[in-house]
Chain A
């Protein structure tokens, strides 16, 4: 039975204090959890509700006077070019999500259900693609697949004697592919986790009734993980329409304007936050619509794959086909990690990257420039680390408390807290940043240009990741362990600190690291909030990319990746090597 604040047995230690009357005495009877609950409400109001409410209000305000108007919406949607940008974003989101599913589902199936060789390698590929910031991959692909100078296209011409390029990165397909190559790990993680739960008996049943491996996969395994595929599709779609760096790098030469680059234009002089807010509103409706559509598609169907009877899970023997699957995984690895990373490393050590690999083209000057001469490079690295660490700590702390309160049903309307913690999930990062700018940049708070506003924005943006992680973790701890402590006289907070938290340590650390790593590569939430002293690595990379100096840019990317790899290494050491991609 779930216990509530009202029905809690009074802690034994309190009985002796009843002789002290008055307010103080009565306050001692208030569970500290009530205070925590209040604090959480305030935190979530501050982080999630206020910026969004402000954004909504501002979209109806006249600039300067603040009078009610609808003209912002007219301006925002009054030009074909602005509407085109919205359509481009939606098409791009769908294309990238579909491509990600196509890339990742065979990989997930192969790793989870079959005897494909090289599973460890596939894990490496997924991990590599996940930790590489998407805009860095975009730079790599610009060097690889520029129609005339791209290394891959030059190789293609040399090998085939063809006139035209094999692939032009500066195109819609190029943009969608680059995004998918860095989003597919999300699909992989979701689908693999779901496939792991299906016992072989279901496939065996299909086999007995005459279905081959292919049919069983198509008709039994995949339909059972349909919710996971759909969920991952939605996540990739939302991530794609929120991306800023990749569209700015590839979209401008490709002449593709999207929502995020259009929002950026509304921040040109004169800064039109009102129009930007109005422009963002339909985007919010669309993302909410996606979630609703997902719920409707899954409604009234059963996807139960876990039953009370223990099922056996055995890898399917594929025979020679396993090499085909392996080739697919290797190809994805080549495209998403090996090739872009290789060319970036080459460029970072090159005097001029177009001249290729040779001794007289080798230099350490790019790294030397960044480490010893560049005024902001090291500061931005430090900024990135401590902003991300602070945001990860706040997010995990808030998420853990909310998850605990919701799971244990400690307060009425606890579910509302959970809803608020998950809400940023549907808000594109750049929209959230504009909300923060509108709500907190100006006096009285005047947070613009401070570290605090970036840390708060990162906390809010990644709260859903932390919450999903914490909720799952809290669910694994049965209340009876805390109850034991409480029967022995411990207060609720004491029990949490000494019983529950230690049990969750590993899971929480894993969640912390995931938030930390995604925060270190976040660009879109930071781009409108940084000041001269608070630029992060991703923002500095964006500034460097403006001038097109790819050698220095690649070297800075190299530093960023090195730092991320060290952190991932630490994470693997502390939490286990699968911490980012939860295996079972």
Chain B
């Protein structure tokens, strides 16, 4: 009887696995457009990318990373998801230690990118797929150092069991009413990029006094802009300030008693980019990732988690208002770069944390 060694079986099995992977790879690569296929070939040689993400939820970022690996087998995506300020802190720590670890950096605070661009720390690259983005967000930077990869609506939300729809606040200033004392919740600009942008916008519209009055209502302060959604779900607080529409809708789809409020002054639109650091260890894989972000695939992935698609060829998520029916407000890129560090300090003085 011929002897079958364990190593022989293992070897055959391994060979078969490798062969089947090769087939899948070829299958995926054949469907790619020419510019993606070239990048993909180069990216496979690099093998992986590391993505510092402050955009989308933790769950959303993981899904985006998985979507990338499914579309481009053989290129691994290391998702390092945190709040935007923490992601930027990690990038700064890398820079300070003169160690390059990040291939694509995504933050909800555009100010991070204008600063990095000015310091010459970004790679110039325009993904071909960016031409298919919504017209309003097609050009984030005329010099193409960074590219839109996130469109988030931040608004008010309430728990419908605790506060009836008719009684709920309607504008950003309504939450300052003393009747909401101990009932509101908000994230922290020291962590969340979106909260920083929102604070800049509120200061622009109402002055810093807005926050002094907000403090009289003793908001519960978390870290991420999504923090209040959890508090609303649990009934710990009844009104969330500057919460992401996508996270709210996802939570509602899971049966939580929440409702979106589009503030009368306008909904905060956080149009935020991604960029490749100039010292990225895997530049081709990073470029491929930027193509993926601006192409239809990522918009499909985030749409399923109730995020805003970035392209006209991907329909909006169920339950969200089409963008052309929403009044949008946002500070300029310069206002964000200059304003966020200022409001972060002011915030800590006003709220003590």
Residues on A close to B: CB < 8 A?
81, 146-150, 170, 248, 251-253, 255-257, 265, 267-271, 273, 351-354, 369, 373-376, 437, 441-443, 446, 448-449, 528, 531-533, 535, 543-544, 546-550, 552
Judge if B126 is at the interface, Cβ distance under 8 Å: no
Residues on B close to A: CB < 8 A?
50, 52, 57-59, 62-63, 65-66, 77-83, 85-86, 88-89, 92-99, 101-102, 188, 190-191, 220-224, 226-231, 233-237, 254-256, 348-349, 351-353
Cβ–Cβ contact B237 & A269, under 8 A:
no
Residues of chain B within 8 A (CB-CB) of A257 are 352-353
Cβ–Cβ contact B78 & A532, under 8 A:
yes
Cβ–Cβ contact B99 & A253, under 8 A:
no
Known: A352-B233, A448-B99. A543 touches B82 (CB 8 A): yes
Q: Nearest B residue to A374 by beta-carbon distance?
A: B62
Q: Nearest B residue to A273 by beta-carbon distance?
A: B96
Cβ–Cβ contact A549 & B58, under 8 A:
yes
Q: Nearest A residue to B79 by beta-carbon distance?
A: A375
Cβ–Cβ contact B99 & A446, under 8 A:
yes
Cβ–Cβ contact B236 & A351, under 8 A:
no
Cβ–Cβ contact B97 & A437, under 8 A:
yes
Residues of chain A within 8 A (CB-CB) of B77 are 375
Partner of A531, one of B101, B231, B349: B101
Cβ–Cβ contact A443 & B98, under 8 A:
yes
Closest 10 CB pairs of A and B: A354-B234, A441-B97, A548-B230, A149-B236, A448-B97, A149-B234, A548-B227, A448-B99, A532-B50, A271-B96
A-B contact pairs, 13 of them (CB 8 A): A269-B88, A270-B92, A271-B89, A352-B255, A375-B65, A375-B66, A437-B93, A441-B96, A449-B99, A532-B78, A535-B80, A546-B227, A548-B231
Give the most central of B227, B229, B230, B231: most A CB within 10 Å: B230
Q: How far is the CB of A262 from chain B (nearest CB, A)?
A: 10
Partner of A255, one of B81, B226, B233, B352: B352
Cα distance A273–B93 in the bound complex, in angstroms: 9
Residues of chain A within 8 A (CB-CB) of B92 are 267-271
Residues of chain B within 8 A (CB-CB) of A269 are 88-89, 92
Q: Knowing that A271-B93, A352-B256, A448-B93 are A-B contacts, what are 11 other residue pairs whose CB atoms are under 8 Å apart, sorted by A's residue number?
A: A81-B352, A253-B222, A255-B221, A255-B353, A265-B190, A352-B254, A442-B98, A448-B94, A544-B58, A547-B58, A549-B230
Known: A548-B224, A550-B230. A373 touches B89 (CB 8 A): no
Q: How far is the CB of A488 from chain B (nearest CB, A)?
A: 46
Give the most central of A170, A253, A528: most B CB within 10 Å: A253
Residues of chain A within 8 A (CB-CB) of B52 are 532
Give the most central of A255, A273, A442, A532: most B CB within 10 Å: A532
Cβ–Cβ contact A546 & B254, under 8 A:
no
Cβ–Cβ contact A268 & B190, under 8 A:
yes
Residues of chain A within 8 A (CB-CB) of B222 are 252-253, 548
Cβ–Cβ contact B98 & A446, under 8 A:
yes
Known: A446-B98, A548-B224. A252 touches B188 (CB 8 A): yes
Cβ–Cβ contact B78 & A351, under 8 A:
no
Partner of B99, one of A251, A268, A441, A552: A441
Partner of B93, one of A255, A267, A543: A267
Q: Nearest A residue to B93 by beta-carbon distance?
A: A271
Q: How far is the CB of B242 from chain A (nearest CB, A)?
A: 14
Cβ–Cβ contact B93 & A146, under 8 A:
no
Residues of chain A within 8 A (CB-CB) of B236 are 146-150, 354
Cα distance A354–B161 in the bound complex, in angstroms: 13
Known: A255-B351, A449-B94, A548-B227. A149 touches B101 (CB 8 A): no
Cα distance A532–B77 in the bound complex, in angstroms: 11
Cα distance A255–B221 in the bound complex, in angstroms: 8
Known: A375-B66, A546-B82, A549-B58. A532 touches B102 (CB 8 A): yes
Residues of chain B within 8 A (CB-CB) of A528 are 93
Partner of A546, one of B191, B233, B348: B191
Cα distance A425–B212 in the bound complex, in angstroms: 43
Residues of chain A within 8 A (CB-CB) of B99 are 441-442, 446, 448-449, 531
Q: Nearest A residue to B254 by beta-carbon distance?
A: A351
Cα distance A256–B59 in the bound complex, in angstroms: 29
Partner of B220, one of A170, A265, A354: A170
Q: Nearest B residue to A269 by beta-carbon distance?
A: B92
Residues of chain A within 8 A (CB-CB) of B224 are 546-548
Q: Nearest A residue to B256 by beta-carbon distance?
A: A352
Residues of chain B within 8 A (CB-CB) of A374 are 62
Cα distance A267–B97 in the bound complex, in angstroms: 12
Residues of chain B within 8 A (CB-CB) of A547 are 57-58, 83, 224, 226-227
Q: Nearest B residue to A254 by beta-carbon distance?
A: B353
Q: Nearest B residue to A264 by beta-carbon distance?
A: B89
Cα distance A253–B96 in the bound complex, in angstroms: 31
Residues of chain B within 8 A (CB-CB) of A147 are 236
Residues of chain B within 8 A (CB-CB) of A268 are 85, 89, 92, 190
Residues of chain B within 8 A (CB-CB) of A354 are 233-236
Q: How far is the CB of B220 from chain A (nearest CB, A)?
A: 5
Q: How far is the CB of B69 from chain A (nearest CB, A)?
A: 8
Q: How far is the CB of A327 from chain B (nearest CB, A)?
A: 31
Residues of chain B within 8 A (CB-CB) of A81 are 348-349, 352
Q: How far is the CB of A508 from chain B (nearest CB, A)?
A: 35
Partner of B81, one of A441, A442, A446, A543: A543
Cα distance A369–B59 in the bound complex, in angstroms: 9
Cβ–Cβ contact A149 & B235, under 8 A:
yes
Residues of chain A within 8 A (CB-CB) of B86 are 546
Q: How far is the CB of B112 from chain A (nearest CB, A)?
A: 8
Cα distance A549–B256 in the bound complex, in angstroms: 14
Cα distance A356–B200 in the bound complex, in angstroms: 39
Cα distance A437–B97 in the bound complex, in angstroms: 8
Cα distance A49–B59 in the bound complex, in angstroms: 42
Cβ–Cβ contact B235 & A148, under 8 A:
yes
Cα distance A547–B92 in the bound complex, in angstroms: 22
Cβ–Cβ contact A446 & B97, under 8 A:
yes
Residues of chain B within 8 A (CB-CB) of A532 are 50, 52, 78, 80, 101-102
Q: How far is the CB of A30 from chain B (nearest CB, A)?
A: 40
Cα distance A547–B226 in the bound complex, in angstroms: 6
Residues of chain A within 8 A (CB-CB) of B80 are 376, 532, 535
Partner of B221, one of A253, A449, A550: A253
Residues of chain B within 8 A (CB-CB) of A543 are 58, 81-82
Cα distance A547–B221 in the bound complex, in angstroms: 12
Residues of chain A within 8 A (CB-CB) of B102 are 532
Q: Nearest B residue to A147 by beta-carbon distance?
A: B236
Cα distance A248–B188 in the bound complex, in angstroms: 12
Cα distance A446–B96 in the bound complex, in angstroms: 11
Cα distance A15–B283 in the bound complex, in angstroms: 65
Q: Nearest A residue to B236 by beta-carbon distance?
A: A149
Q: How far is the CB of B238 from chain A (nearest CB, A)?
A: 9
Known: A446-B97, A448-B93, A449-B99. A548 touches B50 (CB 8 A): no
Q: Nearest A residue to B348 by beta-carbon distance?
A: A81
Residues of chain A within 8 A (CB-CB) of B348 are 81
Partner of A353, one of B50, B98, B228, B234: B234
Q: Nearest B residue to A251 by beta-carbon distance?
A: B353
Known: A352-B255, A375-B66, A532-B50. A549 touches B59 (CB 8 A): yes
Q: How far is the CB of A294 from chain B (nearest CB, A)?
A: 33
Give the most central of B50, B58, B94: most A CB within 10 Å: B58
Residues of chain B within 8 A (CB-CB) of A373 are 62-63, 66
Residues of chain A within 8 A (CB-CB) of B79 are 375-376
Cα distance A146–B353 in the bound complex, in angstroms: 19
Q: Nearest A residue to B353 by beta-carbon distance?
A: A255
Residues of chain A within 8 A (CB-CB) of B231 are 149, 548
Cα distance A544–B235 in the bound complex, in angstroms: 21
Cα distance A479–B258 in the bound complex, in angstroms: 73
Cβ–Cβ contact A548 & B229, under 8 A:
yes
Residues of chain B within 8 A (CB-CB) of A253 are 220-222
Residues of chain B within 8 A (CB-CB) of A271 are 89, 92-93, 95-96
Q: How far is the CB of B174 from chain A (nearest CB, A)?
A: 21
Give the most central of B191, B224, B353: most A CB within 10 Å: B353
